[in-house]
Amino acid sequence: MAATVSSERDDVATPVQRAFREALYAGAISLGLFVLFIGLRTDQNISNELILVKRWGLLAIVVGAVTVGRFLYVAYAVPAMERRKAEKAGAPAIVAEPGFVRRNFNKIGATLLILYPIAMVLAFGFQGSLKWVDNFGIQILIYVMLAWGLNIVVGLAGLLDLGYVAFYAVGAYAYALLGTHFGLSFWILLPAAGAMAAFWGVLLGFPVLRLRGDYLAIVTLAFGEIIRLVLINWREVTNGSAGISGIPKVSFFGLMSFNVSDPNYIAKVLHIAQSGAYYKIFLYYLILALCFLTAFVTIRLRRLPVGRAWEALREDEIACRSLGINTTTTKLTAFATGAMFGGFAGSFFAARQGFVSPESFVFLESAIILAIVVLGGMGSLGGIAVAALVMIGGTEILRELDFLKAVFGPDFTPELYRMLLFGMAMVIVMLWKPRGFVGSREPTAFLKERRAVSASFTKEGHG
Amino acid sequence: MQYFVQQLINGLTLGSIYGLIAIGYTMVYGIIGMINFAHGDIFMIGAFTALIVFLILGALFYSVPVVVALLIMMIVAMLLTSLYNWTIEKVAYRPLRGSFRLAPLITAIGMSIALSNFVQVTQGPRNKPIPPLVSQVYTIDGISISLKQIIIVIVTIALLAIFWYLVNRTALGRAQRACEQDRKMAALLGIDVDRTISITFIMGAALAAVAGTLFLMYYGVVVFSDGFVPGVKAFTAAVLGGIGSLPGAVLGGLLIGFIESMWSAYFSIDYKDVAAFSILAIVLIFLPSGILGRPEVEKV
């Protein structure tokens, strides 16, 4: 975080002197920022009145940490980074052949994902693997799928969508309502939920076709909020904020069931011990298959005329139109395709949780998904998967850090800091790599030889 | 009729608060073309600062006149909230200026998440109620107007007047408008663009802090997640009025306020936000650049 407080006149000062001055500035600013919020705490006393609790010690520690951190950063980290940059610039530029891992990144990633539950079962046993497969594996893969779906809209077609979670909600509620009321199976409702979400995508697409850039962003945000508010208030159908529970589980293609009471319960059919882990492992492979489907469709679509039209639209809408591409249908297909995958993910989410409520479809979710797409490098499937792993996996791990209680005392709950750190991580990663983890794009059409295009040369559409 | 006028007054009060927040959005958008997503949380920080200052005043002095207390709350909130927005601009937006369009949007969303959770972590997740500051209500002809509402409208009008003067009559405002039109040219003519942008953020935050203080006074309660809904609505107001246009922001704020109070009064209170957002979508379809916005001229 390179906030430069100093101006040109301190060219003469040594790094340490400058660092000292900047540390003082940083300390003063952080004192101003934190004096009321960390130094004092509003608490309710017995008669429900607010009182202030003083925490000057904590304030001193935080301000001190900021000051020292800024000093070390300016005095040592910045010169070190500049030296390294200078060395790099001085050395002859060697275009390194990408290593084995780089070249086969996708294959290795896919293999690891397929083997992951098996490794977890071997390492922790069936019961012990539950947490790792469910909380980490499935959770991250849901976000990977959502981000890949949104990538079609934002990364390929360049339409900034801040209400993607609406389609996720449509998919989830479609499965929840049709599954509980009509007893339809997941395998029928999965495509139905996708189609319904796609329909909503087109419905949203129509009015916003004329809008561009940030106007599009705000209307999609409004649309997401409208869907959520309707879900909360249309109590007769959606049961309001209480949500819908008792959503049926997915069956093993109708052959085996994961309900212990059913005659065709998987453990009875296969004569193995009962365990809840089978269902989780099955769900893991299901979402993994859905992810692969999303990736496959994205990769293939990019080679089809419609995918090329999306990317052309992202780069330059006017040129696109003058070349005779119908921008209306191009935008609508992007919205519909992206929404469809959101719907798939939504119905999977409903089946996995067994419970849906409007709480799960707040704007924050849209923001997180968009953040994953941008942090991963828009348009790059591998980068997005890595971003989902880092951001979602990272915050999930915070739930596990119980040993911190020993350091900070028993009142310390790492979960509380989860979203705070998530927000800060979004800022830091963006500052560190503004183009995302993967800053280059594979061209789909090329002359003679395939060259990666640096993302700096590509534009992002303005709607 | 009385009922209608009553709702008009409620809408005016609500709209004033939205308008004050919307100005921050619209100014920042006008000058650097970026949606400052953290602005709603800046508003919340303003309300929280006012709350803590109020408690400090209560703890230090036996009794303070309400006007003095409100003034102190407002001034401290303006100072500290400006410091927040200034720091955020320096840390999270400035390094990404000139980078691609979505990068500052993502850091802004990150800052918004970080700010609201920072307050949750440091101040706790519960509602923070305060005793009513002003409770007089005047009844004229069956229409009741509370002193709170009068204060809100007067403070808003006074601030808008000061603000209008700053933007239209001072060198600072000229610099701001110049940066808005052409940043490079403004820099060539000797305007310190960085400084102008910083001041824009400070001004936006100061207005948001006043809105926060008024919000706290009006509702008597604040919670860490309070930034989001007013923030989105104020942003809606800015877009509705035509983003980049200052009178547009105020007009949009008032419109959203009126729509909300009228809808809750005559239709269903549950769907008031749905109504506000739907009207936004409808207006944008027919007037794609808002009510008072300049149509975007595209040069090839």
B117, B127, B240, B296: best to mutate for the A interface, most A CBs within 10 A = B117
- Name residues whose C-beta falls within 8 Å of residue A198's C-beta, 6 or more positions apart in sequence: A336, A337, A339, A340, A343
Q: What residue in B sits closest to A436 (Cα-Cα)?
A: B103
* Interface contact B274-A460, CB threshold 8 A: no
| Cα–Cα distances in angstroms (integers) from residue A219 to residues A272, A308, B279, B280, in the given order | 53, 26, 10, 8
The answer to whether B264 contacts chain A (CB < 8 Å) is no
Q: How far is A248 from chain B (nearest CA, A)?
A: 30
C-beta separation of A91 from A51 below 8 A: no
Q: φ, ψ for residue B223 (rounded to 5)?
A: -140, 160
| Cα–Cα distances in angstroms (integers) from residue B11 to residues A394, B20, B77, B254, B272, in the given order | 44, 14, 25, 7, 12
* Interface contact A430-B107, CB threshold 8 A: yes
| Cα–Cα distances in angstroms (integers) from residue B298 to residues A100, A318, A462, B257, in the given order | 46, 9, 12, 33
Half-sphere exposure of A321 (CA within 13 A, CB side): 6
In terms of DSSP bridges, do strands A355-356 and A244-245 run parallel, antiparallel, or are they unpaired?
Answer: antiparallel
Q: What is the CATH number of domain B2-286?
A: 1.10.3470
A5, A50, A150, A159: best to mutate for the B interface, most B CBs within 10 A = A50
CB proximity under 8 Å: A 295-354 to B: 318
* Interface contact B55-A221, CB threshold 8 A: no
Q: Give dist(CA A382, CA A103) in Å, integer.
A: 12
The answer to whether B111 contacts chain A (CB < 8 Å) is yes
The answer to whether B129 contacts chain A (CB < 8 Å) is yes
Per-residue pLDDT at B45: 94
Q: Give dist(CA A342, CA A227) in Å, integer.
A: 14
CB proximity under 8 Å: A 364-423 to B: 364, 367, 370-371, 374-375, 378, 416-417, 419-420, 422-423
Q: What residue in B sits closest to A26 (Cα-Cα)?
A: B87
Helices (H) and strands (E) in chain A, counts: 20, 6
Q: Give dist(CA B108, CA A430) in Å, integer.
A: 10
Which residues from B are below 8 Å from A416, CB to CB? 120-121
Which residues from B are below 8 Å from A422, CB to CB? 110, 113
Per-residue pLDDT at A408: 67
Q: φ, ψ for residue A380 (rounded to 5)?
A: -100, 115
* Interface contact B87-A41, CB threshold 8 A: no
Q: What is the mean pLDDT of each run of 10 residues along chain A (463 residues)?
A: 47 75 89 88 78 85 90 85 81 62 76 81 76 84 93 88 92 91 87 93 82 77 89 86 83 75 73 76 90 92 89 84 88 92 93 89 90 85 88 81 66 76 87 76 64 55 42
Of A36, A215, A419, the CB nearest to B113: A419
* Interface contact B274-A229, CB threshold 8 A: yes
Q: φ, ψ for residue A157 (rounded to 5)?
A: -90, -10
Which residues from B are below 8 Å from A227, CB to CB? none
pLDDT digits (tens), chain B, 300 positions: 788 888 899 899 999 999 999 998 888 888 888 888 899 999 999 999 999 999 888 888 877 788 888 999 999 999 999 999 999 999 999 988 877 777 888 899 899 999 999 999 888 888 888 888 888 888 887 788 888 899 999 999 999 889 889 888 999 889 988 988 888 899 999 999 999 999 999 999 999 999 999 999 999 889 888 888 888 889 888 888 887 788 889 999 999 999 889 888 888 778 888 888 888 778 777 877 778 877 666 555
Would you tell me how many other CB atoms lie within 10 Å of the CB of residue A296? 10
Q: What residue in B sits closest to A412 (Cα-Cα)?
A: B121
- Residue B95 sits at the vertex; the CA angle it makes with B41 and A11, to the nearest 5 degrees, is 130
Q: Give dist(CA B159, CA B176) in Å, integer.
A: 18
What letter represents residue B289's amino acid?
S
3-state helix, strand, coil in chain A (%, to 5): 70, 5, 25
Structure tokens at A440: 């280059």
Structure tokens at A160: 């900034």
Q: Give dist(CA A60, CA A35) in Å, integer.
A: 9
* Interface contact B277-A33, CB threshold 8 A: no
Which residues from B are below 8 Å from A37, CB to CB? 48, 52, 118-119, 122-123
- Residue B168 sits at the vertex; the CA angle it makes with B165 and B169, to the nearest 5 degrees, is 65
The answer to whether B127 contacts chain A (CB < 8 Å) is no
Of B48, B52, B121, the CB nearest to A416: B121
What domains lie within chain A, and their CATH numbers?
Answer: 8-90 (no CATH), 108-361 (1.10.3470)
* Interface contact A423-B106, CB threshold 8 A: no
Q: Kindly state the helix (H) or strand (E) to which residue A50 belongs, with its residue range.
A: strand A50-54
A-B contacts (CB, under 8 Å)? 186
Q: Give dist(CA A353, CA A424) in Å, integer.
A: 29
C-beta separation of A370 from B106 below 8 A: yes
* Interface contact A211-B288, CB threshold 8 A: yes
The closest of B39, B27, B277, B253 to A221, measured between CA atoms, is B277
The answer to whether A72 contacts chain B (CB < 8 Å) is no
Q: What residue in B sits closest to A218 (Cα-Cα)?
A: B236
The answer to whether B124 contacts chain A (CB < 8 Å) is yes
Q: Give dist(CA B250, CA B134) in Å, integer.
A: 25
Judged on CB neighbours under 10 Å (0-12, 13-18, 19+), A184 is middle
Please give the distance of CA B49 from its chain centroid, rounded to a whole number.
Answer: 15
* Interface contact A223-B120, CB threshold 8 A: no
Which residues from A are below 8 Å from B285, CB to CB? 207, 210-211
The closest of B204, B114, B35 to A33, measured between CA atoms, is B114
Judged on CB neighbours under 10 Å (0-12, 13-18, 19+), B104 is buried
Q: Give dist(CA A81, CA B95) in Å, integer.
A: 17
Hey, is B145 helix, strand or coil? strand
Structure tokens at A198: 């796609």
The closest of A191, A193, A155 to A375, measured between CA atoms, is A155
* Interface contact B96-A218, CB threshold 8 A: no
* Interface contact A36-B49, CB threshold 8 A: yes
Structure tokens at A318: 């006017």
Q: Provide the terminal-to-terminal Cα distance of chain A, rounded to the nearest Å.
A: 30
Which residues from B are below 8 Å from A427, CB to CB? 91-92, 107, 110-111, 114
CB proximity under 8 Å: B 41-100 to A: 48-49, 51-53, 55-56, 59, 80, 83-84, 87, 90-92, 94-96, 99-100
The answer to whether A233 contacts chain B (CB < 8 Å) is yes
Q: Give dist(CA A383, CA A288) in Å, integer.
A: 17
Per-residue pLDDT at A463: 39
